Amino acid sequence: GRVIATAAMIVEIKFIHNCGKVGHIEDVVVDPAYRGKKLGLKLISALVDTAREAGCYKTILDCSEDNAPFYEKCGLTRKGVQMV
């Protein structure tokens, strides 16, 4: 078998919000030959659901400006400013 799509989520326990949890979605990748089949959407949806089930009060990710429209189609919204 071959991996055609993958993503990860890290759950961080914050000292604020009564030690609440934040889900961090990372490394979302879909093989170019399989794009357009909603695999990325399914991965994001599954990770957001998993974060909710884990008790996360929010789920976040960082992405490039070019990828923002994809994540907006997944139901995520732009919020805040990233400083590096």
Strand partners of residue 22: 12, 58
Is 61 a domain residue? yes
Q: In the structure, what pLDDT confidence band is assigned to residue 15 with cuts at 50, 70 and 90?
A: very high
Is 14 a domain residue? yes
Structural domain count, the chain: 1
Is 25 a domain residue? yes
pLDDT tens per residue, range 28-74? 999 999 999 999 999 999 999 999 999 999 999 999 999 999 999 99
Rounded to an integer, what distance in angstroms lies between the CA atom of residue 56 and that of residue 11?
8
Is 84 a domain residue? no
| Host domain of residue 55 | 5-73
For residue 21, the domain's CATH number is: 3.40.630.30
pTM for this model (two decimals)? 0.90
Is 80 a domain residue? no
Query: Residue 62: its pLDDT value, please?
Result: 95
At residue 84, does pLDDT exceed 90? no
Is 83 a domain residue? no
Backbone angles phi, psi at 61, to 5 degrees: -155, 155
Query: Residue 17: its pLDDT value, please?
Result: 86
